[in-house]
Structures are given as structure tokens and as C-alpha cells.
Amino acid sequence: MADRILTAEMIDAIKAFIPRYPSKQAVTLPALHIVNEHLRHVPLQAVVEIAEILELHPAQVQDTLSFYGYFKQDKPAGRCRVWVCRSISCALRGADQLLAHLSDTLHLQPGETTPDGRITLEYAECLGACEHAPCILANNDLHKSVSSEQADELVKSIA
């Protein structure tokens, strides 16, 4: 059997959600978020362990995980995930150019992580801030009406 990945803290956090939902299966998405928050990805062994806690088949947990492009499974994301919105509003206001600028600046393609593990550059289909296009979500911080210069400052500020 593979080494356990989930810590007691992660297990307790997952179990704390169980009484708040109508079924254990409904806790799958919060459980994935808890693991992702701690590990910056959800490896296969974590899927197996989540399934054990929620009394599900690992395939059920994997099915939920694979539905969402948010979760990485093969390796951890960078310490900061930088999402460039590419909805129609953002695209019309230069999001594609902004993403290309960040790709050039960071020497990455969307989905890749800097060699130092600092930043993963990604695109989002919509960040829900159309009135502030183009926008970037850096971890949990929304940056509105972002220019290339502001994007450069954001990249410099990420430790």
C-alpha cells in the first residue's frame, strides 16, 4: 500500500463537512479543495484516501476531479496560480495579448509552472468580473482592468 498522503488536519477538515451536506458524496468537491489547498494538487493516492473517508469508489472521486480543470493531478501547481480571463468581455479588451505577454515574460505556456515553482500561468474561461475586463486572478486576489505593465508588477510582487 502506498504511503498515506492526507494529514490528520486534512482528514478532520473533510470530516467536518460531512454533517453539512445531504450525503457523503456531496462532500467530494470540498474534499478536493481541501487537499488541493494543502498539496497544490490532488495526486491519485489522495483520491483513494478521499474515497475511503467518504465511503465511495475512487472512480467516483476521480470523476468529480476530472470534471474540473481547476485541479492538477500530475504535479503541484506553483505557489501562485495566475489565471488570465479569456471570456468574450476580457478578450475584446486585450486578454489574449495580456496572456501572450505573460507567457513571454515568464517563458511559459498556459498550464506550465516556472522552474522555481513560484507561478503557474493559466487561463480561465470566465472570472465573473466582465465589467473590469481584462482581469487576472492571482490565487484569491482579483486584479481588475489589468494592463501589461500592471501584469509585470503583479509578477514581480509574487514571492
**Whether the predicted pLDDT of 137 surpasses 90:** yes
| Structural domain boundaries, residue 132 | 80-157
Q: Are 82 and 120 in contact (CB under 8 A)?
A: yes
d(CA 93, CA 89): 7
Average confidence score pLDDT of the chain = 95
Does one domain contain both 95 and 153? Answer: yes
Does one domain contain both 92 and 144? Answer: yes
Q: What is the pLDDT of residues 116-134, one digit of tens each?
A: 999 999 999 999 999 999 9
Does one domain contain both 60 and 100? Answer: no
Which of 26, 45, 67 is at the close of a domain?
67
Q: What is the pLDDT of residues 24-82, one digit of tens each?
A: 999 999 999 999 999 999 999 999 999 999 999 999 999 999 998 889 999 999 999 99
Instruction: Give me 128's grid cell.
Output: 465573473
CATH number for position 129: 3.40.30.10
Does one domain contain both 56 and 84? Answer: no
Helix (H, G, I), strand (E, B) or coil at 141: strand
Q: Which of 68, 2, 5, 16 is nearest to 39 (CA)?
A: 5
Which of 46, 67, 88 is at the close of a domain?
67
Number of domains forming the structure of the chain: 2
Q: Which of the 8 DSSP states describes residue 113?
A: B
Does one domain contain both 111 and 42? Answer: no
Q: Which residues contact 113 (CB under 8 A, 6 or more apart)?
A: 75, 76, 77, 78, 119, 120, 121
